[in-house]
Chains A and B, each alone.
Chain A
Amino acid sequence: MAEHDEKLFEHEFAEKLRKFDDNIIIPEIPDAQSIFDRAESEKAKVIPFKKYSRYIAAAAAVVLICVSIPLLSPALSAEMAPQEPMEAPKSFNNMADAVSDTVVAEEPCEAFPEEENFYLENSITESENPVNEPFDGTAEKDAESVSKTENALEEMLFEFFNSTVSDELKDSSAASSSDANPSTGGSGTNPEVGGAGDSERDLKLEYRENGELSLLYEKINKKRSIEIVVEEDSASVMLFDTSAGDEVISAFWVEGAYQFTQPGEESYVIYLSKKITEEDFESKNYIPMAGDQVNGTYFVSDENISLPRKVRYGEYFIIVEIDLKTGDYKIYANLR
């Protein structure tokens, strides 16, 4: 009976809403040309590196040559004095690397290609691309497909998990795991955490009436700001290029209750948690989900999920690492 009443209400509400909708006044539609003009002007604003890349590359090459000459001299003379061969080449390599890094840093950001403006396509790397298949718990990890760099990063993050983060999360989750109240414990951006733009940090937190964090906005540095809309069971993240009129360079959401954030020089890390019940585990409905405009909703890649052998269910600790330059993000989940 109650179900019938609900259906009846939904039907009547739909009719009224449609009637109401029909009467909404639509303002005069601006000319489509205004859209093209704005797109052009915004494109022009976000590609300064591309425009000057040739000059930057030429300047870097000159610097490289200038640095190389004095460094190469001892390297060449080292052939005649083999007992001290490595000093000069090593320092040369370091310098060359430094110069090379500079060149790379000056290259146009992948997020803003000249012809095709970046459109969230880089928000997840191909190697971690969805997955849209539920994790069955038996699939073997293809270790060879994961690059050494990614492995190193993974190890670093999981090592981090197993030490400091787990301690911090124990505190925060102890306060928030049952009621997910981020206003206590480890919630909010950790004010102790340093990182790029310490002096730049402009943190704004907004809370709901019940004290739960609802929105976090942070100016990370001169070029980047981030906005995290915190929901009960997920967080929506937008990374902005503040040097280009708040251009959105990454937008996605991740399942899990927000815990805290950690800005770094090159990346920004968000920590979340997700409780797994026995029922979830039995039904194999326990892999965290995420989503973005390109990939839609997808399950976190099983390559990035760490499952303990003994614990059958418990709580995921989820790490989201966002590359501040490109907006690419990686999600790691550790069930404990």
Chain B
Amino acid sequence: MKVDNELVIKASKGDRNAFSDIYHSCYKDLYKFALYTIGDSENASDVVADTFVEIWKGIGKLRDADSFSSWAFRILSVRCKKEISNIIKRRGEYNFDDLIETPLPGSENMEEDIAEGASLASALSKLEGEERMIVVLSVLHGYTNKEIAEMIGKPQGTVSSKLHRTYAKLREMLGGENNG
């Protein structure tokens, strides 16, 4: 997630237009992260809105514009963990219907793509929330284990071992098609 430092600096001084630009440029990435973690579109939207409120309230105290992205993900990860526990309290469990129902593009191999997407979504849904966070941050956003450790508030060693274990789980679940 790339954010223009100039915009961050302006927003930190209270420039609402700059913050609005950041909001529109980051929303997609933060929403997807929340969706992967929570699995529910409506709750993901709520959590992202909560996160942006916190970002706006706290951006004036952000010391380093370069760290904006990791800071934003850190806030979102805390919010997601809280939301997961709230969902579990309310419903007894949480599901990934919205993630699993993600449509795939119309391509030449549409049926194959649909099956592949469904199995991928199903495998992701079987991971723990934090495992999904780590995989998404690592694979889709390219953050290092050290950066992820700071974002999700865990020791770096824990992130490394969790990522390794998560890959092992995914390989077990998706192994047939990926090794074949």
Which residues of chain B are near A81, meaning CB under 8 Å?
none
B154 near A18 with CB under 8 A, answer no
Cα distance A16–B117 when bound, in Å? 8
Binary contact track A54-85/B, C-beta < 8 Å → 1, others 0: 00000000000000000000000000000000
Contact of B53 among A27, A29, A35, A296 (CB under 8 A): A35
Contact A26 B28 (CB under 8 A): yes
A-B contact count (CB 8 A): 137
Q: Is A217 an interface residue (CB 8 A)?
A: yes
Taking the nearest CB of chain A, how far is it from the CB of B43, in angstroms? 12
Q: Does A101 contact B (CB under 8 A)?
A: no
Q: For chain A, which range describes its interface: under 10, 10 to 19, 20 to 34, or 35 or more residues?
A: 35 or more
Min C-beta distance of B46 to chain A, whole Å: 10
Chain B 35-52 interface residues, beta-carbon cutoff 8 Å to A:
35, 41, 45, 49, 52
Q: Is A120 an interface residue (CB 8 A)?
A: yes
In angstroms, Cα B54 to Cα A32, docked, is 13
Contact of A229 among B81, B89, B155 (CB under 8 A): B81
Across the A-B interface, the 8 shortest Cβ-Cβ residue pairs: A119-B58, A32-B20, A253-B153, A117-B57, A296-B150, A32-B23, A35-B52, A14-B139
Contact residues of B with A, CB < 8 Å?
Answer: 16, 19-20, 23-24, 27-28, 31-32, 35, 41, 45, 49, 52-54, 56-58, 60-61, 71, 74-75, 78, 81-82, 85, 88-89, 99, 102-105, 113, 116-117, 120-121, 135-136, 139-140, 149-150, 153-156, 158, 167, 170-171, 174-175, 178-179
**30 residue pairs bridging A and B, Cβ less than 8 Å apart:** A5-B179, A6-B167, A8-B179, A9-B170, A9-B175, A13-B139, A13-B167, A17-B139, A18-B139, A20-B104, A20-B121, A21-B140, A23-B103, A23-B104, A23-B117, A24-B35, A26-B27, A30-B45, A30-B49, A32-B23, A35-B23, A35-B52, A35-B53, A36-B56, A38-B53, A119-B54, A231-B158, A234-B158, A253-B154, A291-B149
Beyond A6-B171, A227-B85, 5 extra complex contacts between A and B, CB < 8 Å: A17-B120, A20-B120, A27-B41, A39-B56, A297-B149
